[in-house]
Structure 1
Amino acid sequence: MRPIHPNAPGHGHSYSRSHIPVHDEAKAHLIASANHSRIVSIAAQKFRRRENVIARIRLVLRILSLLLCSGILIVLGQAVMVYYKHKDYVVKHNGTPDLRLWPRGLNMKPTLVMLGASVAATVASAVLGVASFSKAVRHITRVGNVVTVLFSTFCIAIWVAAAVYFKIDDFDKTKHYDFLSYTCARRHDQVLDNAVGNLGNLCAQMRASWWGALAESVVEIVSLATVVWAWWVGKRGGKYQKIGVEMLGSG
C-alpha cells in the first residue's frame, strides 16, 4: 500500500505563514500600517500640544522679564537721578551751621551695580523677547533651549549678585551708609523731605527694585524649568514614534 502523505493533494493543508493567501497578508500589513499611523499621529498631537504650551509659557516669561527689568531700571534710575540732582545741596538753618543734604562719601556702588544689572538685563531681555517670536527660539528646538539656558543663567547670576550686594549695608545696622539704607533710615526726616521730596517713597522705590530683582530671578528659574520640560516632552515623543516603528516592523 502506498503511504499517505499529509501534504498530498486531497489531504490536510499546512497553516504556515508561507501558505497564507496573499490578500490576507496584505490585509494584515494594512492593519499594522494603520496602527503605526494612529500611534504616530497620537504622539505628534501630544507633542504639538505640549510644544505649544511651552512656547506660550516662554513668550509670557519673556514679556514678564522685560516688564520687570525695565520697571526696575525706571524706578532705580529715578532714585539715582534724585540723588545726583541734590548731591551737593546744603540745608540752611537759622542760628545753626549749614548741613549737607547728602553726606560726603555716601556709598553709591551697590545702587549703581543694581542699576547696571537692570540696564544689561533690560537690553538682553528686549533682544530675546523679539527673538522669541521666532519659532526656532520659542519652540522646542536645540537653538531655543540653548538660548534660554544661556540667557536665564546670565540673568540669574547678575540679579542674585546685584541684589545681595545691594542689601549688604542694609542688613548691617551699624553701617547704614549706602544710598538705600541711608535714605530708608531717614525717611521721616522733615528737613530732607522738604528739600528732596518724600524720602519714604524714595525708600519704597528702592526696596521694590530689590524685590523686583528677586522676582526676576524666579522668572528665569522657571525659564530654565521649561528647558527640562521641553527635553522630557521631546523624549516622550521619540518613544511613541519608536513604538510605532517597532509595530510596523513586526507587522
Structure 2
Amino acid sequence: MEPLRSLNTHGQSPHLRVDTSYEQVRNAKRKALTRPNRLRVIVRLITLTVGASIVGVLAHAAFVWYSTRNYILMQPHGIRMRGWPAQMDLIPTWIMLAVAVIAIVVQIVALLTLLRGVYRLRESAWHTWGLFLTSIVGIATWITAAVYFKLQDNKGERNWTLWSWSCSHKDLVNGKMSFQTMCVELNYCFYIAVIVAALELLNLSLFGLHLRKAKRQGSYTTITVQKV
C-alpha cells in the first residue's frame, strides 16, 4: 500500500505545481505593479503643491477684483477713477482655477491610494488604466488652459482679463493690491501651468517605465518558477 500511496501523490503533484506556479507569478506581477515609485510620489507632491499655489493666487486675484471693482480712487496721474475697466473677462481665470482644483483632487486621490486602508485599490486593473487616462487628460487640460489663458491675455484692450489689465496698468491703484504685484503673480500662474503639464508628462513616463519593469519582473518570475 505504501508504494501505491507514493505513486498517487506523485500523480497529483504536477497539478499542484501548476497551481502554485500560477499563484506565484500572479502575486509577483501584482506586487511589482502596486509597489510605489518614490520618484513618482515626489513628482505628485510637487504637482500638488504648485497646483495649490495656482489656486491660491488666482482665487486671491479674483477676490481683489470682486471687492474693488467699483472703487473710485485718486490715481497717480491726479484723476479720480476706477482701477478696473467696466467690462472684465474672467473666464480665463475661472478655467485655470477649475483645472487647478480638479488637478489637486486627482493628486490627493492618487496619494491616498498609498495608504494601508485603500492600498489594495492599486492591485485592481482599473488603477493602471485610470492612471493613464487621468494623466493624458490632465496633460491635455493643462496645456489647453495655459494656451487659452495666454491667447486671451494677448487680446489686450479688445478683451481685458485680470492678467492683461494688471500688466498693462501697473501705475493704477485699486485700493487693495498693486497691479504690478498682480501681474507678477498671474505671470507665475501661466508658467507654473506649463510646468505642471510637464510634470504630468514626466509622471506618465515614469509610470510607463515602472509598468514595463514590473512586467519584465513577472516574466523572470515565470521563467524561474518553470525551472523549479
TM-score normalised according to structure 2 size: 0.73
- TM superposition shift of 1:51: 7.3
Say how many residue pairs are matched: 199
Distance 2:202 2:112 in 1: 19
**Alignment deviations for residues 105-146 of structure 1 (CA, whole Å, 9 cap, x no partner):** 12111111111211222222222221233544568x634422
Asked if residue 185 in structure 1 is aligned to residue 165 in structure 2, the reply is no
- The answer as to whether partners of 1:152 and 1:220 remain within 8 angstroms in 2 is yes
* Counterpart check, 1:108 vs 2:97: no
> Which residue matches 1:131?
113
The structure 1 residue matched to 2:130, chosen from 147, 151, 159, is: 147
Unaligned runs of 5+ in 1: 1-39
Q: Secondary structure at the match of 2:160?
A: coil
Partner of 2:20: none
The structure 2 residue matched to 1:74, chosen from 41, 56, 76, is 56
Distance 1:173 1:86, change over 3 A: closer
Structure 2 runs not aligned, ≥5 long: 1-23
Percent identity of equivalent pairs: 25
The answer to whether the 8 Å contact 1:91/1:101 transfers is yes
Tell me the distance in 1 between the aligned counterparts of 2:162 and 2:56: 17
Please give the TM-score of this superposition, normalised by the length of structure 1.
Answer: 0.67
Quote how far apart the aligned CAs of 1:244 are: 3.1
Aligned-partner Cα distance in 2 for 1:196–1:208? 20
Give the RMSD, CA atoms, in angstroms.
Answer: 3.1
Q: Distance in 2 between matches of 1:129 and 1:221?
A: 17
Shift of the alpha carbon at 1:76? 1.1
1:211 paired to 2:191: yes
- Given the superposition, is the C-alpha separation of residues 174 and 97 from structure 1 closer, same or farther in structure 2, using an over 3 Å criterion? closer
Conserved? CA contact 2:64–2:177, under 8 Å: no
Question: Of the candidates 204, 217, 220, which is equivalent to residue 224 of structure 1?
Answer: 204
Counterparts of 1:184 and 1:172, CA distance in 2: 13
CA distance in 2 between counterparts of 1:211 and 1:186 reads 21
